[in-house]
Amino acid sequence: MKAYRLLTEDDTSAFCHKVSEALSKGWDLYGDPSYAFDAATQKMRCAQAVVKEVVGVEYTPEVKLGRL
C-alpha cells in the first residue's frame, strides 16, 4: 500500500524535527511545504505531505499511519 500523511506543526524547530523523523523512518516528501497564519493562535503553521510504500500491509481506516 502507499501511505499518505500530512504533518503539521507551529513554525518552530518542532516542525523540522517532525519531518526529519518521518524521513528517517522511510517516508518521502510529497510536494512542497505550506505555511499559513493561524489567527486563533496568532502563529504561523507549517504543513508537509509525506508518502511511504509499505509492502505486506493492506490499507484499512484502522491503520496507524504514524507507526508505519
Distance (Å, whole) CA 9 – CA 61 = 23
Q: Which of 65, 68, 53, 49 is nearest to 6 (CA)?
A: 49
Distances (CA, A) of 11 to 17, 26, 39, 54: 11, 23, 14, 29
Residue 7: per-residue pLDDT: 98
Residue 59: per-residue pLDDT: 95
Residue 19: per-residue pLDDT: 98
Distance (Å, whole) CA 57 – CA 41 = 38
pLDDT tens readout for residues 22-66: 999 999 999 999 999 999 999 999 999 999 999 999 999 999 999
Q: At 14, is the pLDDT very low, low, confident or very high (cuts 50, 70, 90)?
A: very high
Domain positions in the chain are 2-60
